[in-house]
Amino acid sequence: MNQWKNFSKGFFKENAVFVLLLGLCPTLGVTTSAFNGLGMGLATTFVLTMSNIAVSLVKNVIPDKVRIPSFIVIIASFVTVVELVMQAFVPDLFAALGIFIPLIVVNCIVLGRAEAFASKHTVLTAAIDGLGMGLGFSMALTILGSVREMLGSGSIFGLKFLPGDGMLVFVLAPGAFLVLGYLIVLVRKINRKGA
Protein backbone atom coordinates (compact mmCIF):
# COMPACT_ATOMS: atom_id res chain seq x y z
CA MET A 1 0.00 0.00 0.00
CA ASN A 2 1.51 3.30 -0.96
CA GLN A 3 1.53 6.17 1.49
CA TRP A 4 -0.93 8.34 -0.41
CA LYS A 5 -3.56 5.60 -0.30
CA ASN A 6 -2.72 5.08 3.35
CA PHE A 7 -3.35 8.76 4.00
CA SER A 8 -6.47 9.23 1.91
CA LYS A 9 -8.42 6.16 3.04
CA GLY A 10 -9.50 8.03 6.18
CA PHE A 11 -11.51 10.52 4.16
CA PHE A 12 -13.93 8.35 2.19
CA LYS A 13 -13.32 4.63 1.97
CA GLU A 14 -12.73 4.11 5.70
CA ASN A 15 -14.07 7.36 7.10
CA ALA A 16 -14.29 6.83 10.85
CA VAL A 17 -17.71 8.42 11.28
CA PHE A 18 -19.64 7.83 8.06
CA VAL A 19 -18.39 4.35 7.19
CA LEU A 20 -16.88 2.70 10.28
CA LEU A 21 -19.32 4.41 12.69
CA LEU A 22 -16.68 4.86 15.37
CA GLY A 23 -16.42 7.73 17.80
CA LEU A 24 -20.10 8.60 17.68
CA CYS A 25 -20.28 10.27 21.10
CA PRO A 26 -18.06 13.28 20.35
CA THR A 27 -19.40 13.33 16.80
CA LEU A 28 -22.93 13.99 18.00
CA GLY A 29 -22.08 15.78 21.22
CA VAL A 30 -19.92 18.67 20.05
CA THR A 31 -21.17 19.40 16.54
CA THR A 32 -23.59 22.16 17.50
CA SER A 33 -21.55 24.46 15.26
CA ALA A 34 -18.97 24.05 12.51
CA PHE A 35 -16.25 25.64 14.61
CA ASN A 36 -16.75 23.28 17.58
CA GLY A 37 -16.72 20.31 15.21
CA LEU A 38 -13.45 21.43 13.64
CA GLY A 39 -11.83 22.10 17.04
CA MET A 40 -12.79 18.68 18.35
CA GLY A 41 -11.60 17.05 15.14
CA LEU A 42 -8.19 18.69 15.32
CA ALA A 43 -7.75 17.82 19.01
CA THR A 44 -8.54 14.19 18.19
CA THR A 45 -6.20 14.28 15.18
CA PHE A 46 -3.32 15.36 17.43
CA VAL A 47 -4.00 12.58 19.94
CA LEU A 48 -4.47 10.02 17.19
CA THR A 49 -1.24 10.90 15.37
CA MET A 50 0.90 11.15 18.49
CA SER A 51 -0.43 7.95 20.06
CA ASN A 52 -0.01 6.10 16.76
CA ILE A 53 3.65 7.21 16.66
CA ALA A 54 4.25 6.32 20.30
CA VAL A 55 2.55 2.93 20.04
CA SER A 56 4.48 1.98 16.95
CA LEU A 57 7.75 3.04 18.64
CA VAL A 58 7.21 0.82 21.67
CA LYS A 59 5.37 -2.06 19.98
CA ASN A 60 8.28 -4.47 20.36
CA VAL A 61 8.92 -3.63 24.00
CA ILE A 62 5.41 -4.15 25.37
CA PRO A 63 4.44 -7.74 26.23
CA ASP A 64 1.34 -8.88 24.38
CA LYS A 65 -0.73 -9.41 27.52
CA VAL A 66 -0.56 -5.88 28.88
CA ARG A 67 -0.86 -4.36 25.42
CA ILE A 68 -4.28 -2.70 25.80
CA PRO A 69 -3.68 -1.10 29.22
CA SER A 70 -0.33 0.26 27.99
CA PHE A 71 -1.99 1.76 24.91
CA ILE A 72 -4.63 3.38 27.11
CA VAL A 73 -1.98 4.96 29.33
CA ILE A 74 -0.16 6.32 26.27
CA ILE A 75 -3.40 7.75 24.86
CA ALA A 76 -4.43 9.22 28.24
CA SER A 77 -1.08 11.02 28.51
CA PHE A 78 -1.55 12.75 25.15
CA VAL A 79 -5.15 13.62 26.04
CA THR A 80 -3.89 15.27 29.22
CA VAL A 81 -1.45 17.30 27.12
CA VAL A 82 -4.27 18.45 24.83
CA GLU A 83 -6.46 19.24 27.84
CA LEU A 84 -3.85 21.49 29.44
CA VAL A 85 -2.83 23.21 26.19
CA MET A 86 -6.42 23.96 25.19
CA GLN A 87 -7.29 25.23 28.66
CA ALA A 88 -4.37 27.66 28.43
CA PHE A 89 -4.69 28.92 24.85
CA VAL A 90 -8.30 28.44 23.69
CA PRO A 91 -10.36 28.60 26.91
CA ASP A 92 -13.62 29.35 25.04
CA LEU A 93 -13.35 26.27 22.86
CA PHE A 94 -12.26 24.25 25.89
CA ALA A 95 -15.43 25.31 27.72
CA ALA A 96 -17.63 24.58 24.70
CA LEU A 97 -16.25 21.05 24.22
CA GLY A 98 -16.38 20.39 27.97
CA ILE A 99 -16.54 16.76 29.02
CA PHE A 100 -15.67 15.52 25.53
CA ILE A 101 -12.00 16.54 25.80
CA PRO A 102 -11.12 14.05 28.58
CA LEU A 103 -13.38 11.58 26.77
CA ILE A 104 -11.02 11.46 23.77
CA VAL A 105 -9.34 8.73 25.85
CA VAL A 106 -12.29 6.43 25.30
CA ASN A 107 -12.85 7.39 21.67
CA CYS A 108 -12.93 4.03 19.91
CA ILE A 109 -11.08 5.41 16.87
CA VAL A 110 -7.94 6.19 18.83
CA LEU A 111 -7.65 2.84 20.58
CA GLY A 112 -8.86 1.08 17.44
CA ARG A 113 -6.08 2.52 15.27
CA ALA A 114 -3.45 1.85 17.96
CA GLU A 115 -4.49 -1.79 18.22
CA ALA A 116 -5.36 -2.56 14.61
CA PHE A 117 -2.77 -0.48 12.78
CA ALA A 118 0.01 1.21 14.74
CA SER A 119 1.02 -1.94 16.62
CA LYS A 120 1.72 -3.69 13.31
CA HIS A 121 3.37 -1.00 11.18
CA THR A 122 6.45 1.23 11.08
CA VAL A 123 6.52 4.67 12.67
CA LEU A 124 6.10 6.65 9.45
CA THR A 125 3.22 4.53 8.16
CA ALA A 126 1.49 4.71 11.53
CA ALA A 127 1.91 8.49 11.70
CA ILE A 128 0.43 8.96 8.22
CA ASP A 129 -2.43 6.64 9.08
CA GLY A 130 -3.16 8.61 12.25
CA LEU A 131 -3.03 11.92 10.43
CA GLY A 132 -5.31 10.68 7.63
CA MET A 133 -7.87 9.10 9.92
CA GLY A 134 -7.80 12.16 12.17
CA LEU A 135 -8.32 14.63 9.33
CA GLY A 136 -11.09 12.43 7.91
CA PHE A 137 -12.73 12.52 11.34
CA SER A 138 -12.30 16.32 11.46
CA MET A 139 -13.88 16.59 8.03
CA ALA A 140 -16.88 14.54 9.10
CA LEU A 141 -17.33 16.61 12.26
CA THR A 142 -17.02 19.88 10.36
CA ILE A 143 -19.61 18.78 7.77
CA LEU A 144 -22.01 17.63 10.47
CA GLY A 145 -21.42 20.81 12.46
CA SER A 146 -21.94 23.01 9.38
CA VAL A 147 -25.22 21.32 8.43
CA ARG A 148 -26.55 21.59 11.98
CA GLU A 149 -25.43 25.20 12.28
CA MET A 150 -26.94 26.15 8.92
CA LEU A 151 -30.30 24.53 9.68
CA GLY A 152 -30.34 25.38 13.35
CA SER A 153 -29.18 28.99 13.46
CA GLY A 154 -28.87 30.07 9.83
CA SER A 155 -25.13 30.69 10.00
CA ILE A 156 -21.86 28.96 9.20
CA PHE A 157 -18.67 29.33 11.24
CA GLY A 158 -20.55 32.06 13.12
CA LEU A 159 -21.31 34.08 9.94
CA LYS A 160 -25.04 34.66 9.67
CA PHE A 161 -26.58 34.34 6.21
CA LEU A 162 -30.22 34.07 7.20
CA PRO A 163 -32.15 36.37 9.50
CA GLY A 164 -33.96 34.87 12.48
CA ASP A 165 -33.24 31.87 14.67
CA GLY A 166 -33.53 28.93 12.29
CA MET A 167 -34.85 25.55 13.37
CA LEU A 168 -33.64 25.22 16.92
CA VAL A 169 -34.23 21.48 17.02
CA PHE A 170 -31.16 20.88 14.83
CA VAL A 171 -28.87 22.44 17.43
CA LEU A 172 -30.52 20.39 20.18
CA ALA A 173 -29.97 16.68 20.72
CA PRO A 174 -32.57 15.21 18.31
CA GLY A 175 -31.13 17.13 15.36
CA ALA A 176 -27.74 15.51 15.86
CA PHE A 177 -29.16 12.01 15.42
CA LEU A 178 -31.34 12.98 12.45
CA VAL A 179 -28.62 14.84 10.52
CA LEU A 180 -26.03 12.09 11.06
CA GLY A 181 -28.55 9.43 9.98
CA TYR A 182 -29.28 11.20 6.70
CA LEU A 183 -25.61 12.05 6.06
CA ILE A 184 -24.75 8.34 6.35
CA VAL A 185 -27.47 7.54 3.81
CA LEU A 186 -25.94 10.13 1.47
CA VAL A 187 -22.41 8.73 1.85
CA ARG A 188 -23.70 5.21 1.22
CA LYS A 189 -25.38 6.35 -1.99
CA ILE A 190 -22.19 8.07 -3.18
CA ASN A 191 -19.96 5.13 -2.27
CA ARG A 192 -22.23 2.68 -4.07
CA LYS A 193 -22.13 4.74 -7.26
CA GLY A 194 -18.34 4.95 -7.11
CA ALA A 195 -17.92 1.18 -6.66
Q: Residue 90: how many CB atoms within 10 A of its CB?
A: 14
Task: Label residue 187 exposed, middle or buried (CB < 10 Å: 0-12, 13-18, 19+).
Answer: middle
State CA 122 to chain mean position distance.
23
Choose between 84 and 162: whose C-beta lies nearer to other proteins.
84
By CB under 8 A, name the one of 61, 174, 194, 195 that touches other proteins. 174
Binding mask 69-108 for other proteins (x = CB under 8 A): x--xx--xx-xx--xx--------------x--xx-xxxx
The span of 9-17, 54-62, 151-159, 165-173 binding other proteins (CB under 8 A) equals 165-173
Residue 29 lies near other proteins (rule: CB under 8 A): yes
Cα dihedral 31/35/40/45 (nearest 10): 130
DSSP code string of 172-189: SHHHHHHHHHHHHHHHHH
Contact set with other proteins (CB under 8 A): 21-22, 24-26, 28-29, 68-69, 72-73, 76-77, 79-80, 83-84, 99, 102-103, 105-108, 111, 169, 172-178, 180-182, 184-185, 188-189, 192
